[in-house]
Structure 1
Amino acid sequence: MKKLIMIFMLVIFAGVLTACGASGNEEGQASNEKETTSKEKKVLVMGTSADYPPFEFVQTSQGEDIIGFDIDLANAIAEKLDYEIEIKDIDFSGLIPALQSNKIDFVLSSMTPTEERKENVDFSQIYYEANHMIVSPTESNIGKIEELEGKTVGVQLASIQADKAEEIKENVDITIESRNRIPELVQEMKAGRFDAAIIEDTVAKGYLDKNEDLTGFVIENAEEAGTAAAFPKNSELVEEFDQAITELKESGELEEMIKKWFDSEESQ
C-alpha cells in the first residue's frame, strides 16, 4: 500500500512539473510574439488629393490604387526610414485641417509651402518645382493675362493657384470660382461656365495632351512654385524626411522618378 501511495504521488508531481514547463513555454512564446510585434514597421498615415496627375491620381483602367510621382516618392522615403505608408484621399482644402487634427501624419500632395500655410504646419525641403499655367478652351483665343479681363477663372480650392488668381485680380478684372478637384475645373471649361483656369503646368500638360479643345500658356515671369511635404507643427518627421529627400536627390533616384512621371506616357 505504501508503495502504491508513493508511486501515485510521483505521478502527480511529474504532472505538475510538466504543466509548469508548458506554462513557461507559453509565456516564452508570448514574449517572443510581443518582441516580433514590436519590431513591425510603424505605419504613417499620408494625406493626398488624388485628382492631380501625374502627382497623385487613380488610373481606373489599371485599378483603384492611387498612383503617381508623390506616391512613388512617399514609398521611397518610407523605405529609407523603415516605415509603412497608409494613404488617405482627401480634398486638397481638407489636408491641412487633417494635419492639425492629427488624422494624418503628413501630406504629400504637390503642396507649396506658402507663408500662410507655414503658420499652421511645418514643411520639408522643396522636392519639386513647377510654374502656373493659364488653361482655356482653344476657341477663346486667350494668350496673355490681360485677355482674362471680364472672364471667369477657375482654381482649385485652397491651392497656390487660388492665391495667384487673387494676385491677378488686383490688376485684371476677373471673377474667381473655386472647385475641390482639377477635373471639375476642366469640366466647367468644357461646359462653358469657366472661361479659363489656373493649373500647375506639369498637371495641365496631361490635360492639354488629352484634350485638343484646350490650350494654355505659362504665366510669364511667374516665380517657380516649389512643392514640399507638410507635417503637424513641431513634428519630428520633418528632419527625417529632409534627410531622406536629400539622399534621394544625391543618389539620382528622385531625378529618375521625375523622368518617369513627367517625361513618359505614365504621366498621361
Structure 2
Amino acid sequence: MKKSLSLLLIGLLILGLVAVSGCTDTAGTTGTDDETVSEMPVYVVGTEPYFPPFEYADENNSNEIIGFDIDLINAIAADQGFEVTWKDLEFDALIPALQSGQIDIIASGMTITEAREESVDFSAPYINAGLALAVAANNNDIQSVDDIQGKVAVVQQGSTGAAKADELKAQGLISEVIYLAHVSDVIMSLQNGRGDLTINDLPVTNAFISQNPGVIKIVDDQIQSESYGFAVRTGNTELLNMLNEGLANVQADGTYDQITDKYF
C-alpha cells in the first residue's frame, strides 16, 4: 500500500513538473513576441495639416490627416520597419518642436533651404515644388511679377513664399507683406481684397485651383525653383539614413509613382 501510494505521488509530481515546464515555455514564447512588437521604433512626425495635397484633414473624418506626405512617410516606415504617430503643429513651430525633441521628423511640404539647413538635417529631395505668384480670379491688374509695384502680398507665415515676399519688399517691388497661419486664410484674404497677391508653392496652388475653380489664378509659375525634403534633428544620421533608404526603395518599386498619381 505504501509502495503504491509512493508511486502515485511520484507520478503526480512528474505530471506537475511537465505542466509547469509547458506553461513556462508558452509564457516565454508569448513574451518574446510581445518584445518583438514593442521593440519596433515609433517616431513622432510633425505636420501642419492645412497644406493640400501634401497634408490636410480628411473631409469624411476631420480627425484623420491625409495627403501626399502622409502616404509617402507611411510607405517609407513600412519599408524600413518603424511606426509613426502624427502631431499637428503650426508650420513655423515645426523646427522648434524638432529641435526640442517634441517630434522626430518633419513631413510638411518643407522646402530645403540653406537657412533651414543650419537648424535641421534634410533628407534627399522627394519632390520639386517651385514658387508661383497668384491673385484673385477677378484681378486683372496683375499679369506677372512686373505688375506688383506697390501691391500687398498675403503669405503663409514661415514659408518660402513669405521669404520671397520679404525679398520683393526689400527690393521695393511690393509695399506690404501680411503673414497668416494657413493657406486657406491667405486665399480668403485675396477674395475679400485684403491683399493683392500671394506667393506659394506651385503644386499646392494648382491643387487648390483644381478643387476650387474660379477663386484664384496663377499669373507667374516660375518665381523660384525649390525642392521639398523631410527634416530630422541635426546629427540624427540613423533616422536620416532610414528615410533616404526608404525613399529610394519606394521610388524604385513603383510605390512613389502610385502615391504621386493619387494626389497629382
State the TM-score bracket (shorter-chain normalisation). Answer: 0.7 to 0.9
Q: TM-score, normalised by structure 2?
A: 0.87
1:28 to 2:30 alignment = no
Q: For 1:3-42, what aligned pairs fall within 5 Å after superposition?
A: 3=2, 7=5, 11=9, 22-40=19-37, 41-42=40-41
> Paired residue for 2:177?
176
Counterpart-to-counterpart distance in 2, 1:249 and 1:9: 70
* Number of equivalences: 258
1:204 to 2:199 alignment = no
Do the aligned residues in 2 keep the contact of 1:131 with 1:218 (CA within 8 Å)? no
> Paired residue for 1:213?
215
Counterpart residue type for residue 55 of structure 2: E
Counterpart-to-counterpart distance in 1, 2:206 and 2:43: 31
Q: Per the alignment, in what secondary structure is the counterpart of residue 257 of structure 2?
A: helix
1:117 to 2:119 alignment = no
The 1:19–1:149 alpha-carbon spacing in structure 2 relative to 1, beyond 3 Å, is farther
Coordinate RMSD, CA, aligned: 2.4
> Paired residue for 1:259?
261
Counterpart residue type for residue 207 of structure 1: F
Q: Per the alignment, in what secondary structure is the counterpart of residue 234 of structure 1?
A: coil
Q: What percentage of aligned pairs have identical amino acids?
A: 28
Counterpart-to-counterpart distance in 2, 1:128 and 1:177: 27
Deviations 1:221-240 (A, max 9, x none): x3411001100111111112
> Paired residue for 1:166?
166
Counterpart-to-counterpart distance in 2, 1:144 and 1:218: 6
- Which consecutive unaligned segments of at least 5 residues does structure 2 have? none
Counterpart-to-counterpart distance in 2, 1:121 and 1:89: 19
- Which consecutive unaligned segments of at least 5 residues does structure 1 have? 263-268
Q: Per the alignment, in what secondary structure is the counterpart of residue 216 of structure 1?
A: strand
Q: TM-score, normalised by structure 1?
A: 0.85
Choose which of 222, 238, 247 in structure 1 pairs with 2:240: 238
Deviation at 1:242, TM superposition (A): 1.0
Deviations 1:186-237 (A, max 9, x none): 11222221222111111111222314132122354x3411001100111111
Q: Per the alignment, in what secondary structure is the counterpart of residue 146 of structure 2?
A: helix
Do the aligned residues in 1 keep the contact of 2:145 with 2:220 (CA within 8 Å)? no
> Paired residue for 1:68?
67
Choose which of 248, 251, 254 in structure 2 pairs with 1:249: 251
